[in-house]
A and B are shown apart, each in its own frame.
Chain A
Amino acid sequence: QVQLVESGGGVVQPGESLRLSCAASGFTFTNFGMHWVRQAPGKGLEWVTFIQYNGNNKYYADSVKGRFAISRDNSKNTVYLQMNSLRPEDTAVYYCARDMDSAYYLYYWGQGTLVTVSS
């Protein structure tokens, strides 16, 4: 069965960096694009970024453009989110999700990892 397991969350101070990982299993990783979506405490869902199946195309929400970078290692079935210059408003649970057949719907989701940015 499809599994997505996020890791790397934690508490950091404003301006610091953090790298999240999402390990995928149960499907052919190289066939699917991957998303990161976040959810601030008590708030709704915010799409953050997407990487194409082969890593050639990447897209970002305006709120993170220039600060966050998505990447993938298809040999390790893992997608990453490098987060730099973190701000308190980046505090959220970060979910990775598998795309649905290049349809940009989010078919399978991980359990999420909490990132807290606070001084």
Chain B
Amino acid sequence: EIVLTQSPATLSLSPGERATLSCRASQSVSSHLAWYQQKPGLAPRLLIYDASNRATGIPARFSGSGSGTDFTLTISSLEPEDFAVYYCQQRSNWPPAFGQGTRLEIK
């Protein structure tokens, strides 16, 4: 079973800054990794799939990169609505698994 480890657990930044979130897999998942955003009280939303493809309607300030075991979600310039919890998810091996999440908070 693949384990995904996200870092940091909490990231404190200001609007306009660049955010870099990391997800590391315990073994290679190729490019089979997605990123989700979850705001309090709401369901998660798919942002990125297959490591670097933006889902429909996702702003261009969100980008994903990486392959194998190391992945990054970058938000180029933070908007107030971007402060949320972010999860990575792999689908390379069964079962699908989520990382523990990174909380992006306003500094």
Contact = CB atoms under 8 A, between A and B. Distances in A.
Given A59-B94, A59-B95, A109 B44 contact: yes
Interface in A72-119: 95, 100, 103-107, 109-112
Give the residue among A50, A59, A109, A111 with the most B Cβ atoms within 10 A.
Answer: A109
Interface residues of B, number: 22
Contacts of A50: 96
B92 to A, nearest CB: 9
A106 B89 contact: yes
Nearest to A6: B43
A45 interface: yes
From DSSP, what is the main secondary structure of chain B's interface residues?
Answer: loop
Q: Count chain B CB atoms within 10 A of each CB in A35, A45, A59, A62 and give the residue with the most.
A: A45
B46 A107 contact: yes
A27 interface: no
Contacts of A105: 34, 46, 49, 89, 91
B51 to A, nearest CB: 11
B83 interface: no
Contacts of B87: 44-45
Interface of A: 35, 44-47, 50, 59, 61-62, 95, 100, 103-107, 109-112
Given A100-B49, A104-B91, A105-B49, A47 B97 contact: yes
A46 B44 contact: no
A104 B98 CA distance: 12
A95 B38 CA distance: 13
B43 A61 contact: no
Contacts of B39: none
A112 B99 CA distance: 20
A99 to B, nearest CB: 10
Contacts of B46: 100, 105-107
> When A and B form their complex, which 5 residue pairs have the shortest distance between CB atoms, in order from nearest?
A104-B91, A109-B43, A45-B98, A105-B34, A47-B96
Contact of B98 (A46, A59, A107, A109): A46
